[in-house]
């Protein structure tokens, strides 16, 4: 869609220029939405301030540092970013065009079965479900559909265990234990299971103790998911630490960051103003779907009749 608009404005551009300029705009929109809508919900607004991740309102971002590596840290890519697996629901609620709930769909039935998306209106229907279905609370519990039926083929047989896969992935990547990462983040390294009760419910500590002989053996993700969320945050302190550090470095070390004025890839002030003034997940959904008439302004949050009610896509 972006490429079509650019083609209409610049009919003399070659395909490569169209592709690169469209890519630059889409990446800028993605970065803006991630830092303005998504991360404040995961990490909290105070953390966005404390780690220098609040987006600029008018000026260019001046914090680019060529000595910072913007690459993804091993612990984040192999473990911390999987915090979402405890948030995924067992089923999605299905809604019609008017917003009326007409049924439920088990997530397990959709593995290797994307056929409903190919039907007329199928993609928009899936989006309505995602927008109006609530995520699970952050806790150490993962729905059995993801631990018993992941990637299960429709003809039968056993599925995979997503949690076990992610834990093994961390081991394959040579990640230090949860206790080491606690110490890295400045929280101190627990020496006994009793030490974990500072940030975990007793039931979570008991569950870890039932499968690990020593507190120093606990893998990063099981330990981090077992922590109670911080106030104003979706995740506990260890995940909070790792994710905040990572996204802060991603911004500061990226010379192509959409807010930066580093040539030759920087936006003009007018272009940057357009991104800041009109880019939101809700707006993108409205502009790129065929059948979405209404959407809540804060698309990552559930509908609330007072704080986040649905509005017309035409507004």
Give a yes or no: residue 112 inside a domain. no
Task: Report CA torsion sign: 233, 238, 138, 297.
Answer: positive
Whether 200 is in a domain gets the answer no
12 occurs within a structural domain:
yes
Q: How many domains in the chain?
A: 1
pLDDT (tens digit per residue) in 229-270: 999 999 999 999 999 999 999 999 999 999 999 888 899 999
When mean pLDDT is compared across 16-25, 35-44, 55-64, 132-141, the lowest value belongs to: 132-141
In a domain, 119, yes or no: no
For residue 59, is it within any domain?
yes
The pLDDT value recorded for residue 286 is 93
Enumerate residues 6+ apart whose C-beta is below 8 A from 95: 101, 102, 125, 128, 129, 132
Q: What is the pLDDT of residues 80-134, one digit of tens each?
A: 999 999 999 888 888 877 778 888 888 877 777 788 888 888 888 889 889 988 8
Give me the domain span that covers residue 302. 2-69+258-312
Binning pLDDT at 50, 70 and 90, where does residue 155 land?
low
Q: Does 275 reside within a domain?
A: yes
Which pLDDT belongs to residue 154?
A: 58
Asked if the structure places residue 163 within a domain, the reply is no
Residue 302 falls inside a structural domain: yes
């Amino acid at each position: 869609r972006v490429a079509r608009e650019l083609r209409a404005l610049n009919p003399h551009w070659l395909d490569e220029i169209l592709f690169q300029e469209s890519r630059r705009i889409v990446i800028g929109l993605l970065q803006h939405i991630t830092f303005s809508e998504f991360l404040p919900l995961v990490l909290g607004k105070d953390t966005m301030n404390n780690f220098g991740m609040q987006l600029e309102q008018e000026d260019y971002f001046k914090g680019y540092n060529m000595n910072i590596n913007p690459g993804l840290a091993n612990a984040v890519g192999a473990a911390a970013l999987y915090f979402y697996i405890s948030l995924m629901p067992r089923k999605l609620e299905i809604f019609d065009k008017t917003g009326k709930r007409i049924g439920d769909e088990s997530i397990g039935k959709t593995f290797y079965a994307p056929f409903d998306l190919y039907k007329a209106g199928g993609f928009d229907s899936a989006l309505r479900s995602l927008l109006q279905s609530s995520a699970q609370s952050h806790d150490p519990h993962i729905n059995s559909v993801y631990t018993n039926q992941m990637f299960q083929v429709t003809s039968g047989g056993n599925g995979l265990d997503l949690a076990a896969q992610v834990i093994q992935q961390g081991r394959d990547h040579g990640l230090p234990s949860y206790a080491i990462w606690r110490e890295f983040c400045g929280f101190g390294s627990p020496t006994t299971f009793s030490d974990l009760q500072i940030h975990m419910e007793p039931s979570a500590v008991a569950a870890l103790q039932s499968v690990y002989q020593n507190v120093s053996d606990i893998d990063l993700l099981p330990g981090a998911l077992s922590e109670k969320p911080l106030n104003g945050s979706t995740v506990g302190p260890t995940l909070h630490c790792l994710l905040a550090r990572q996204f802060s470095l991603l911004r500061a070390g990226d010379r192509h960051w959409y807010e930066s004025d580093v040539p030759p890839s920087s936006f003009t002030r007018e272009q940057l103003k357009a991104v800041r003034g009109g880019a939101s997940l809700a707006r993108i959904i409205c502009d790129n779907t065929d059948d979405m008439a209404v959407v809540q302004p804060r698309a990552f949050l559930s509908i609330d009749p007072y704080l986040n009610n649905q509005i017309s896509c035409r507004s």
